[in-house]
Chains A and B, each alone.
Chain A
Amino acid sequence: MKTATAWIFRITPSISAAVGELELVHLLPEHPILYAVPQAPHYCRHVMVWRQKIVPVMNLAARLQTAAGRGETATTPTPDTHQRLGIFAYRDDAAKPAYGALFLASLPRRYAVSDAQMCRLPADFTTWTPYVMSCFQDRTAEQAIPILNLNRVFSAAFQPSP
């Protein structure tokens, strides 16, 4: 049976997500200087500088709330709810290396996932569909964990269907 290693982290106190082992490239222990970008979407209003690159800083929970048509809440993570920023690496549509940061509500933990743990995305996660590659059952926490498609997460603004 094939296994792979993932990082699992919370994006809100109750919702977790995962990425591949090599996609989480840096965990920032303290909040770096964030620069506000005028006219940017409410779920991604800031950028930061990381290794001479300008990196978007996203509140993924707020993005998913928008995708669910729940308006513009949960825009400002606080130190109480989001202690960390993670830098993630992915390939963009042109297959070039790209980077983005997410506010995290917990420290990431490594987790070995086997093929047997793959599962369907639960019904209450349907708004995640555009941003998810697959889903697995976390036997430790006994919950389904969506695996993020980082290129989609950091792609153009979500456009709800008319």
Chain B
Amino acid sequence: MNRPNDDALSRSPRYLNLLLQDLQLLVPQTDVHMLAPLADMQPPAPATGSSVGRFEQSAKVWPIYVLGSDLTPQPEIPDDYRIAVLLRHEAMPYGLLCRQAYLLEGSRIAPHPLPACMRTPQAPLLALYGEEVHVLSSAKTLNRLLAAPG
């Protein structure tokens, strides 16, 4: 059975595919504010937890995070991470670093509920794109993982 918001998450016309180290993470395009090069990132602001840097634009600050394969924040930036994806979030805009990011058409993505034996409160949805499995999440859900105690 799908959870609240899963249906809306599954019907986005386009998704941004973020290549992490051993994970392909899809977020709806509507959750994305902009992409920025890592070179423009500034050091993290004080008291922003596990962020590895920040972007500032129009008096707004986006703390930037690196996610591990379990989608929890990591302290180190892998060498091949080059792109920051700034995400829309009402309460706390934030960004994620990744190796690459590109758009995929929603019509070519088949969302798939997580198998029953794998479901936990924070587990994401899955999606099939061709023969590849991607993880499907949203800025709101990922933000809860950033806020969760380690």
Q: How many angstroms between the C-alpha atoms of A156 and B115 in the bound complex?
A: 8
Question: Across the two chains, which residue of chain A brings its CB closest to B123?
Answer: A39
Q: Does residue A92 face the partner (Cβ distance < 8 Å to B)?
A: yes
Using C-beta atoms within 8 Å of the partner chain, give the interface range for chain A.
20 to 34
**Would you list which residues of chain B between 93 and 150 have a CB under 8 Å from chain A?**
112, 114-120, 122-124, 126, 128, 131-133, 135, 145
Most B CB within 10 A of own CB, among A38, A48, A55, A157: A38
Number of A-B residue pairs with CB-CB distance less than 8 Å in the complex they form: 71
On A, residues with C-beta under 8 Å from B are 35-41, 44, 47-49, 52, 54-56, 58, 92, 100, 153-157
Q: Does B70 contact A (CB under 8 A)?
A: yes
Assess A157 versus B126: contact at CB under 8 Å? Given A39-B71, A49-B131: no
A-B contact pairs, 25 of them (CB 8 A): A36-B22, A37-B114, A37-B135, A38-B69, A38-B71, A39-B122, A39-B123, A39-B145, A40-B123, A41-B117, A44-B118, A47-B115, A47-B133, A48-B133, A49-B132, A54-B133, A55-B115, A56-B117, A153-B117, A154-B116, A154-B117, A155-B117, A156-B119, A157-B117, A157-B119
Name B's A-contacting residues (CB within 8 A). Answer: 22-23, 69-71, 112, 114-120, 122-124, 126, 128, 131-133, 135, 145
